[in-house]
Amino acid sequence: LLEAVFQERIQALCERADQLSRADDSRVALLDWLHDLVRYAVSARGLADVLTYEPPTDVPAAEPADAQAQHSCGAVLESAATPLLRRALRDEAVRPGVTFHDLLTLAVGIALATEHHAEPAVQADRLFTLTV
């Protein structure tokens, strides 16, 4: 049920990933998208919890993602973000071996760690900036 509530915003994140796929700098594009994901996970109570319970696909970003056939929030986000991650890996803009699940875990962790702060969005932005 929660996933249905998030579908519209998840679709917007997918469209954002598509727009960023044409950006000149692959690292900036990936980080901009990931920051958008963190911001949404902080603002949409429950999304981080939903994403926490989705198992990783363990598909390296250099390979096609089987998750494209799935319709869960995590699988849809993975399908959208994988081209950004592949490009950043190819450009050596991120550490080799980074997976979508690594990035999702980072975003979810920041969202969950800041949800009880007085200003969760401000704290999440701070942590994200410190991390990257």
The tens digit of pLDDT for each residue in 22-61 reads 999 999 999 999 999 999 989 887 777 777 766 666 555 5
Report the pLDDT averaged over residues 14-24.
Answer: 97
Mean pLDDT score across all residues of the chain: 86
Highest mean pLDDT among 2-6, 62-66, 90-94: 90-94
Q: CA–CA separation, 56 vs 78, rounded Å?
A: 10
Looking up residue 7, the CATH number of its domain turns out to be 1.10.357.10
User: Which residues, 6+ apart, have CB-to-CB distance to 90 below 8 Å?
Assistant: 26
DSSP per-residue codes, 95-124: -TT--HHHHHHHHHHHHHHHTTSSSHHHHH
| 88 vs 46: CA distance, rounded Å | 29
- For residues 13 and 62, the model is more confident at 13
Domain count, the chain: 1
Q: Which residue has the higher pLDDT, 7 or 29?
A: 29
Nearest CA to 17 among 40, 45, 49, 1? 40
List the domain range (segments joined by +) for residue 11: 2-131
- The pTM score is 0.82
Is the per-residue pLDDT at 16 higher than 80?
Answer: yes
